[in-house]
Amino acid sequence: MTQTLTQMAVEVLTTADGREKTALSHRHAASWRASREAGAPIPIGEASPPLRPARPDQPELRNPREVPRRRPGTPEGRIALLHAVAHIELNAVDLHWDLIARFGHVPMPLGFHDDWVQAADEESKHFNLMCDCLEALGSHYGALPAHAGMWRAAEDTVDDLFGRLAVVPMVLEARGLDVTPGMIEIFRKADVPQAIAALEVIYGEEVGHVAYGSKWFHFLCGREGRDPKPLFHDLVRQYFHGVLKPPFNEEKRAEAGIPPDFYWPLTERLEEDAP
């Protein structure tokens, strides 16, 4: 019996080891693409993804406040930075497959699945690129503690596709566009060509993920007759804990279809949330 796409997604989510998870993710993405090219798409189906994906025993997950900060001007600091990005990428692999698995019951055009399979495939590459960089520097993913809170956005939006799209690609991944150029600069100063090349791949491809978020958020709004901008503001205030922090990469955000009037108003607390 052939697997459905949502079953494939659950299989990735329930694989713990990072390299194994991403290898499976690449294989499933290739099968999806082949089925699309053959004009016989794998059925989407419906599946029950776990509330939290399987993860390796290492890294130890800690409260963000208890993850030691290291200065990026030192070799240890640069390893810590790559380790943090590897952790984000592994979460991103699961986030994209979870989006596919969790919302399989919502009828969506096949292009929606094409985009998120593509994004999951690219996140898998990003994770492996970061692992390769860590290993070249004598470390590995799992060697340092990592943030525990990263899956919260997924749990908060388990039953809200609008909320998921608003918070994950359009806020969290858009934040990646803001901070990645600064990271590339750190590795340029330290002359680490492998890390520069890897981060440039990530930077280029993340624009696409944010754009997929904006595209499908607007699609859903159009289908249900909702006004995208105020809805986006309400959802981010509901599900994202805290305000958005400038500076923003306005150019890349624009390229990804996120206009300034979507994010600037979220840099301020509403009166009613003030402490």
- Using the minimum distance from each CB to Fe ion, give the nearer residue, 212 or 262: 212
Residues engaged in binding Fe ion (CB under 5 A): 89, 92, 123, 126, 173, 206, 209
- Using the minimum distance from each CB to Fe ion, give the nearer residue, 203 or 248: 203
Residue closest to 94 by CA, chosen among 159, 50, 48: 50
Least separation in angstroms between residue 1's CB and Fe ion is 32
Residue closest to 126 by CA, chosen among 94, 92, 149: 92
Least separation in angstroms between residue 41's CB and Fe ion is 23
- Using the minimum distance from each CB to Fe ion, give the nearer residue, 92 or 161: 92
- Using the minimum distance from each CB to Fe ion, give the nearer residue, 32 or 127: 127
Tokens (6 digits) for 79: 């390893």
- Using the minimum distance from each CB to Fe ion, give the nearer residue, 13 or 92: 92
Least separation in angstroms between residue 171's CB and Fe ion is 12
Least separation in angstroms between residue 159's CB and Fe ion is 23
Least separation in angstroms between residue 2's CB and Fe ion is 28
- Using the minimum distance from each CB to Fe ion, give the nearer residue, 130 or 192: 130
Least separation in angstroms between residue 89's CB and Fe ion is 5
